[in-house]
Amino acid sequence: MATEALALRDLVKTFGATRALDGANLVVERGTIHGLIGQNGAGKSTIIKILNGLYRADAGTIAIGGQISPSISPRVIERLGVHIIHQEALLPPSFTVAEALFLGAEPSHGPILAGRRMRRRAEEAIGAYFDLTLPRGALIGELSAAQRQIVQITRALLNKPRVLVFDEPTASLVRREANRLFGLIRRLRDEGTSIVYISHYLEEVRDLCERVTVLRNGRDVATVDPRVTPMADIVSLMINRGIDEMFPKQVVRPGKPALALRGLGRAGAYADIDLTLHEGEILGLTGLVGSGAKEVLQTVFGLTRADRGEIEIHGQSAAVPSPARAIARRLGLVPEDRRGQGVALDISVRENATLASLKDLTRFGLIDTRRERRQVDGLIARLGIKTPGPEARVRDLSGGNQQKVVLAKWLSAQSDIYILDEPTVAIDVAAKVEIYRLLGDLAKRGAAILILSSDLLELQGICDRILVMYRGRIVRQLGAHETTPEAILAAAAGAGLGPERVAA
Amino acid sequence: MTADALASPGFAEPKADTEDRATRRARRRSQIVRLGSIGALIAVFAYFAIAAPGFAALGNLTNVVEQSTVLALLAFGMSIVILGGGADVIRGGIDLSLGANLGLCAAAYTVASNAGCSDIAAAAITLAVGTAVGSLNALAVVGLGVLPLLATLAVMNICAGAELVLTQNTVLTANSPLLSWIAGASWLALSVTDWVLVVTSVLLVLAVHGTRWGLRLQAVGAHTQAARAAGLGVRGYLAGTYVGAGLLTAIAAIVQAARLSGSSPGSGDILLSVVLTSLMSVVFSRRLLPSIGGTLLSVLFIGCLINGFQLLNVSSYWVNGVQGVLILFVVAVRSLSTRTGGG
């Protein structure tokens, strides 16, 4: 018993009809880094919210340091030595670093703040844990995401925690910052702190953790040692499905050209872009940041104008100067900023799904609600959108299901050309698979699909052809079946490696 | 194809070390706003000093301070409410009842004094009325969860109605030793009214910007979740701001009663100036939040503006319009700088 730093046993938590947790266990040994993984909706965030006292479990026990604690509030949990590093920093943006660090336990003379002592101790603490100094006197709101996270971790460490919970800590970090974080986590472990590490990135979990608990549907399906368990096994534990089913491949014979770019150029962004997208084809476009791939897509979206060249849609020359014009030509646009541009978060699934096709559903200026309802029900079933009902707010859906609503919008508008910008960013594995299957389905029915993605595995898995851009030009065309992620990356990075099938 | 690649985030772009540069840029932007505001203040002051005869005379300046005391006390209350409730114009903290509360408290003092109450009793009644109105706001906002904008609008009407009942919408005169002491006495060349302003300013600067309570209050307003996670009693702080604003208003009412020798209808008109000065204080603060010092500067700025217009024989009706324009300007500056800055 005494070796357990934290033990959650048989936790149950229900919200209405859904069981977010259904007898979940998480037992963390003292002085270890323990991973917690699972798809979105598997119950990770519910566990965190129970741990920080926001939710109360319906059943089950929470033991911290061998001591069973019946009721949990933010104060109680911190007194017992458990601190949570939230994904979004919980720091007031208008505070200075020192103020944010010591809020709630400010150095003071009686009620009067000891400002200088507070600043000095803040600098000492950050220097001790991270070996760096933040800009003197900076406000939290002026710091970068990584710097804010440093403040948050230091804040937790000041309390000498016995258990430290990291919730998706690398989500907003670049690689170098993430490596620095991993170093710190290992050091804390060596100093005897127990760590719970929650992440989407299996690679990180493998490199960092000694044990990993896999959550699925509110239950812990397995606790394994990731250093000896093959990644593929862990993935199938998470999704309960073999890895080969990730990319449901459908062989489709391409038809007539649907979208063609001829000699497209835009000063400072891209030049000489020739590209033909056929009906029934899924064409991938990729490149590093600054390669111009994103800018090409923006022109096709109608957000920016090309200086030279032309765009043909179904064989007809078409300048596409605005998204409205693009939609009128039955282009379906799936932007990268899903929550900002893809869906309207605060209206219902039904309203979102028919947003682009209301014209077809309207009679004498009124919406034919029965037909609309029938169409929406059909779309929800066809796309497998997980929603409490057609009237649910899109905000309440998971990321993957929000993306399906975007696709539903274009399906109902009978789009036949789909342009997607990073369609599976921040979507969990199972929903990704469903979106891949949907795209395959669409292609089979004759839709032409252009995908911009930086997920190489995804490109290779679902596309027929992949165009790689480098410094504003298409430098390589790769047949998806004959290439590897390494070859795509090499071409994008400008190396002369990979299969010798250069685009004409 | 291996499952390992599943986990790799594709092209991870190594970001150049631009962190500190971004921080510096954000700071410079807020610095420009701050320096610009102070520059505008100095420019207006300099203009009046040159153009308006007698503006820069010491007697006139103490006069400005004296005329500003009531407004300053109310604006301090408003700033504290905004600090604790958050600076969001729609959902954040605001107390629209301050002006009407001022009228009600002044009426309460006058009526009590005329009914034969001693000075101490009348002052106690006034403070009780002001605090009660603040508590009513607190009850509506914190207890019932009504948006502050609406809750205090309702309370404003309650106060205005109660004042009418007390005074029958007439000018009531009062005369008491306390009132004549406030209006007449002076110490070290400053009148009692001036001293009220000086003492409350110092105490509030210390309380809001120098104590644990003040820091925690600001945390409640700036990031409620963070305050809660730090174990603070958010509701207590929120309620306290409205009660405190009510108390400050009651003190202001006694000063007002002394200046006007009683109570007269129309005190509620001060609300526009209160909102303006409190919002304007934001541009003097690095955090782009109201501060006591910034509020005092804004109040004196408005005081100078009114006084300067009078000396230049510009109709005082213009002042309202100018204040309205300034509100728009200040809110626009703030929303611009929070949109592009921070991040």
CATH label of the domain that carries residue A47:
3.40.50.300
> Does A433 reach chain B within 8 Å, measured CB to CB?
no
As a whole number of angstroms, the distance between CA B259 and CA B109 comes to: 13
> Chain A 325-364, CB below 8 Å of chain B: which residues?
none
Quickly state the pLDDT bin for A503 (edges 50, 70, 90): very low
Which of B:48-87 have CB within 8 Å of A? none
Using pLDDT thresholds of 50, 70 and 90, give the confidence band for residue A504.
very low
A456 falls within a domain = yes
pLDDT, one tens digit per residue, over B140-152 is 998 888 889 899 9
Residue A162 has a pLDDT of 86
The per-residue pLDDT for B200 is 93
Answer with the one of A415, A437, A468 that is the final residue of a domain: A415
CA distance B156 to B133: 9
- Does one domain contain both A399 and A470? no
Distance CA A319, CA A197 (A): 50
pLDDT of residue B152: 92
Residue A336, in any domain of the structure = no
Domain end, chosen from A391, A415, A439, is at A415
Q: Does the predicted interface ipTM exceed a cut of 0.95?
A: no
Is some CB atom of chain A closer than 8 A to the CB atom of B302? Answer: no
Chain B residue numbers touching A74 (CB-CB < 8 A):
228-231
Q: Up-side HSE of residue A265: CA atoms within 13 Å toward CB?
A: 7
DSSP letters for B122-185: HHHHHHHHHHHHHHHHHIIIIIS---HHHHHHHHHHHHHHHHHHHHTTS-EE---HHHHHHHH-
Q: What residues 411-430 of chain A have any CB closer than 8 A to a CB of chain B?
A: 429
Q: Which residue segment(s) compose the domain that A178 sits in?
A: 4-242
pLDDT at A177 over 80: no
pLDDT above 50 for B2 = no
pLDDT digits (tens, 9 = 90+) for B111-160: 888 888 888 888 999 999 999 999 999 999 988 888 898 999 999 999 99
- Considering the domain architecture, whether residues A170 and A224 belong to the same structural domain is answered as yes
> For chain A, what percent of residues have pLDDT higher than 90?
1
A338, part of any domain: no
Does residue A468 fall inside a structural domain?
A: yes
Instruction: Establish how many alpha carbons lie within 13 A of residue B313's alpha carbon, considering only the half-sphere containing its beta carbon.
Output: 1
- Contacting B residues, span 230-269, partner chain A, CB-CB under 8 Å: 230-232
Instruction: List the Cα angle A447/A450/A454 in 5-degree steps.
Output: 145
d(CA A27, CA A6): 6
Stretch among A57-66, A318-327, A488-497 having the lowest mean pLDDT: A488-497
Structural domains in chain B, sorted by start:
54-340 (1.10.3470.10)
Question: Which residues, 6+ apart, have CB-to-CB distance to B169 below 8 Å?
Answer: B265
Cα torsion A179, A185, A188, A192: sign: negative
A147 and A256 part of one domain: no
Percentages (nearest 5) of helix, strand, coil residues in chain B: 75, 5, 20
Task: Check whether B339 has a pLDDT greater than 80.
Answer: no
What pLDDT digit, counting tens, does each position of A249-271 carry?
566 677 888 888 888 888 878 88
Is the Cβ of A94 closer than 8 Å to some Cβ of chain B?
Answer: yes
In a domain, A337, yes or no: no
Residues of B with CB below 8 A from A171's CB? none
Contact B286 A139 (CB under 8 A): yes
Residue A251 and residue A380 in one domain: no
What pLDDT digit, counting tens, does each position of B46-56 carry?
Answer: 888 888 888 87
Q: Give the nearest chain B residue to A106 (CA atoms).
A: B212
Name the residue among A232, A287, A307 with its Cα closest to residue A489. A287
Contact A202 B6 (CB under 8 A): yes
What confidence score (pLDDT) does residue B77 get?
93
β pairing state of A473-479 and A465-470:
antiparallel
Report d(CA B167, CA B264) in Å as an integer.
Answer: 8
Across the range A12-41, mean pLDDT stands at: 81
Looking at the fold, whether A326 and A457 belong to one and the same domain comes out as: yes
pLDDT digits (tens, 9 = 90+) for A192-248: 889 999 886 777 788 888 889 988 878 888 888 888 887 777 777 776 654 455 665
| A349 and A455 in a common domain | no
Please state the separation of Cα B117 from the chain's center in Å.
31
A169 and A92, same structural domain? yes
Nearest CB partner across the interface for B13, out of A147, A206, A289: A289
Residue A428 shares a structural domain with residue A504: yes
Specify whether A228 is located in the same domain as A264. Answer: no
Task: List Cα–Cα distances, B69 to A154, B196, B254, in angstroms.
Answer: 44, 8, 11
In B, residues 162-221, which contact A (CB 8 Å cutoff)? 206, 210-216, 218-219
Of A29-33, B255-259, B313-317, least confident by mean pLDDT is B313-317
State the first-to-last Cα distance of chain B, in angstroms, to the nearest integer: 38
Question: Helix/strand/coil (H, E, C) string of A96-137?
Answer: EHHHHHHCCCCCEECCEECHHHHHHHHHHHHHHHHCCCCCCC
Query: Closest by alpha carbon to A338, among A409, A288, A289, A290?
Result: A409
Name, of A6-15, A69-78, A169-178, the range with top average pLDDT.
A6-15
Q: Tell me the average pLDDT across A15-33.
A: 81
Nearest CA in chain A to B205: A112
Question: By the CB < 8 Å criterion, does B16 face chain A?
Answer: no
Average pLDDT, chain B: 82
pLDDT score for B154: 92
Looking at chain B, the whole-number percentage of residues with pLDDT higher than 70 is: 90
Say how many CB pairs under 8 Å bridge A and B: 142
- Determine, for residues B216 and A460 on separate chains, whether the beta-carbon distance falls below 8 Å: no
Quick one: average pLDDT of A81-102?
Answer: 83
A431: closest CA among A221, A204, A241, A281?
A241
Please report which residue ranges of A264-334 form alpha helices under DSSP H.
293-301, 323-328
Residues of B numbered 265-294 whose beta carbons fall under 8 angstroms of chain A's beta carbons: which are they? 286-289
Considering only CB atoms, B219 lies closest to which of A95, A147, A492, namely A95
Q: Do A399 and A499 have their domain in common?
A: no
Mutation target among A142, A460, A484 for the B interface, most CBs of B within 10 A? A142
B contacts of A141 (beta carbons < 8 Å): 26, 341-343
Q: What is the pLDDT of residue B239?
A: 92
Residue B161 in contact with partner chain A when CB distance is under 8 A: no
Structure confidence at residue B50 (pLDDT): 87
Nearest partner of B291 among B79, B5, B45, B41, judged by Cα: B79
Place of tokens 């959902």: B91
Determine the Cα–Cα distance for residues A10 and A16; give it in Å rounded to an integer: 19
pLDDT in tens, B68-103: 899 999 999 999 999 888 877 778 888 999 989 999
Task: DSSP for A46-104, please give it.
Answer: HHHHHHTTSS--SEEEEEETTEE-SS--HHHHHHTTEEEE-SS--S-TTSBHHHHHHTT
pLDDT of A357: 74
Contacts by A355-360 with C-beta closer than 8 Å and gap 24+?
A: A355/A409, A356/A327, A356/A332, A356/A409, A356/A410, A356/A412, A356/A413, A357/A409, A357/A412, A357/A413, A357/A414, A360/A413, A360/A414
Q: Tell me phi and psi for residue A426, to 5 degrees.
A: 60, 35
Chain A 112-151, residues with CB within 8 Å of chain B CB atoms = 112-113, 115, 135, 138-139, 141-144, 146-147
Q: Tell me the shortest Cα–Cα distance from A362 to chain B, in angstroms.
A: 36
Stretch among A27-31, A156-160, A407-411, B24-28 having the lowest mean pLDDT: B24-28
pLDDT single digits (tens) A115-136: 888 888 888 888 887 777 777 7
> What are the strands of the beta sheet with A417-421, ordered from one edge?
A331-334, A417-421, A448-452, A282-286, A465-470, A473-479
A289-294 long-range contacts, Cβ below 8 Å, gap at least 24?
A: A289/B11, A289/B13, A290/A471, A291/A469, A291/A470, A291/A471, A291/A472, A291/A492, A292/A469, A292/A471, A292/A472, A292/A473, A293/A452, A293/A469, A294/A421, A294/A452
Whether residue A139 lies inside any domain: the answer is yes
Is residue B233's pLDDT more than 70?
A: yes
* Phi, psi for A334 (deg, rounded to 5): -115, 95
Mind telling me how many Å the CA of B167 is from chain A's nearest CA? Answer: 43
Q: Quick one: closest CA in B to A459, which residue?
A: B10
Q: What is the pLDDT of residue B138?
A: 92
Task: Tell me the C-alpha distance between B292 and B281, whole Å.
Answer: 8
pLDDT at B109 over 50: yes
Q: Are residues A34 and A90 in the same domain?
A: yes
A305-363: pLDDT as tens digits: 888 888 888 877 776 667 777 777 788 888 877 777 777 777 888 888 887 777 777 77
Query: Which pLDDT score, from 0 to 100, does residue B72 have?
Result: 93
Q: Which of A396, A415, A434 corresponds to the end of one domain? A: A415
| Residues A165 and A310 reside in one and the same domain | no
Reply yes or no on whether the pLDDT at B309 is more than 60. yes
- The reply to whether B22 touches chain A by the CB within 8 Å rule is yes
Helix (H) or strand (E) holding A14: strand A4-15
Number of domains chain A is built from = 3
Q: Write down the pLDDT at residue A21.
A: 84
